[in-house]
Amino acid sequence: MNKPSSIRYAAVYLGSAETPVPEFRQAVIDLADYLAEHEITLVFGGSNTGMMKLLADRMLKKNGKVIGVFTRSLPEKLIRNDLTESIITQDLAERKKEMLRLADVIIALPGSFGTFDELFDALAQQKLKKESPCPVGVLNIKGFYDPLFALLQNSSDAGFSSARTLSLLKSGTTPEELFRNF
């Protein structure tokens, strides 16, 4: 599949920790391969640890462009030094805003609190049509995000979210499927 010409930068949210789950690791590799093959620049948190490291390593191995957006509030020893470009922000809030500013599309892989925070912030901005006027999606590997979709449906059933709001979050089990859904 050819990528839409409007997608040049993908902000990717994912865990900075390692995971022993091989399917999650493979999803990171598959996404990096897809982005590099389609000449989509990766925008990520700039860390040299865990799944972030795996993603950047694979992108660079495939000669992809990688922009790291790191924050001064994290230990400097965690910063990745061999990227196409590095941007240093004052704090996490500024980092999220900068990543949203750069992104043509936002993708979340399995992660933890930081990933969830970034994902929900992007969705809230999308709903308000503010910082993130671009598609937001998750790579739903091994049903990782199924509970999130159930929670969102719960919110809609209770009258807190509209069908339009629920439709803002796209999903796919592979990069190809996710990009088709954008």
9-31 pLDDT per residue, tens: 999 999 889 899 999 999 999 99
Give the gyration radius of the chain's Cα atoms: 15
H or E segment to which residue 57 belongs = helix 50-61
How much is the pTM?
A: 0.92
Condensed to tens digits (0 to 9), the pLDDT of residues 158-176 reads 999 998 889 999 999 999 9
Any residues with CB less than 8 A from the CB of 86 and at least 6 apart, and which?
A: 46, 67, 68, 69, 70, 79, 80
Q: Which residue has the higher pLDDT, 163 or 105?
A: 105
Distance from the Cα of residue 132 to its chain's centroid: 13
H or E segment to which residue 99 belongs = helix 92-102
H or E segment to which residue 171 belongs = strand 169-172
Query: Contact, 34 vs 3, CB < 8 A?
Result: no
* Torsional sign, CA 34, 98, 128, 148: positive
Q: Which pLDDT does position 80 carry in this prediction? A: 82
Query: Contact, 59 vs 35, CB < 8 A?
Result: yes
Listed range (74-83, 107-116, 161-170) with the worst mean pLDDT:
74-83
- The burial class, CB within 10 Å (0-12 / 13-18 / 19+), for 114 is middle
Residue at 174: amino acid letter: T
Q: Is pLDDT above 90 for 136? A: yes
Q: Which pLDDT does position 1 carry in this prediction? A: 43
Q: Is pLDDT above 80 for 132? A: no
Q: Which pLDDT does position 3 carry in this prediction? A: 55
Query: Contact, 34 vs 64, CB < 8 A?
Result: no
Domains and their CATH numbers in the chain: 9-177 (3.40.50.450)
Give CA–CA dist 46/81, Å, rounded: 9
What is the chain's mean pLDDT, rounded?
92
Confidence of residue 51 (pLDDT cuts 50, 70, 90): very high
Confidence of residue 111 (pLDDT cuts 50, 70, 90): very high
Condensed to tens digits (0 to 9), the pLDDT of residues 52-67 reads 999 999 999 999 999 9
Task: For the chain, give the percent of residues with pLDDT over 90.
Answer: 76
